Amino acid sequence: MYTAMNLESEIKELQRQLAQVDLVTESSTRSGSKLLELLLLKSKDIKVKMYQEQGHAMPHIHIDYGRQHHVASFSIEPPARLEGTLDRKYDKEVTKWVASHKHKLLEIWKTLQAGGETTSLVAELAGNA
């Protein structure tokens, strides 16, 4: 059985993967020269959202990252960025996550758009995520 705890664990793993991207891409300027800064630990909040949106034919998700809301939208099939201001260095990890969960995400999308009950579907995603 899938639980919210499993989804929380999977979201933390996605956060960890995004933080790994930060480890090799963040830099700082010291004494006028740009230096690679090794960040040993970074934790930011990430939220993956889906809305019931009349007239939106393309299944997609919305991403909140850190204190920013709706920083990007990603299509589910094919997994790809649609728009947003989330740094593109995160695209690979987000699209990998979407691809690995696309069947459940599509099922949730279809049920949500039809006005159906999604609680058990979200619980299943939580268990698989």
Taking the domains of the chain in order of start, what are their residue ranges? 4-128
Q: What is the pLDDT of residues 8-63, one digit of tens each?
A: 788 888 887 777 666 455 444 444 544 334 333 333 577 888 887 777 789 998 88
The pLDDT of residue 30: 45
The answer to whether the beta carbons of residues 8 and 16 sit under 8 Å apart is: no
The pLDDT of residue 76: 94
Closest listed residue to residue 48, CA positions, set 1, 114, 95: 95
Please say if the pLDDT value at position 74 is more than 90: yes
More confident residue, 98 or 124: 98
The pLDDT of residue 73: 93
Question: Distance of CA 123 to CAs 19, 62, 66, 72, 90, Å?
Answer: 26, 19, 24, 24, 26
More confident residue, 51 or 123: 51
Closest listed residue to residue 73, CA positions, set 95, 100, 45: 95
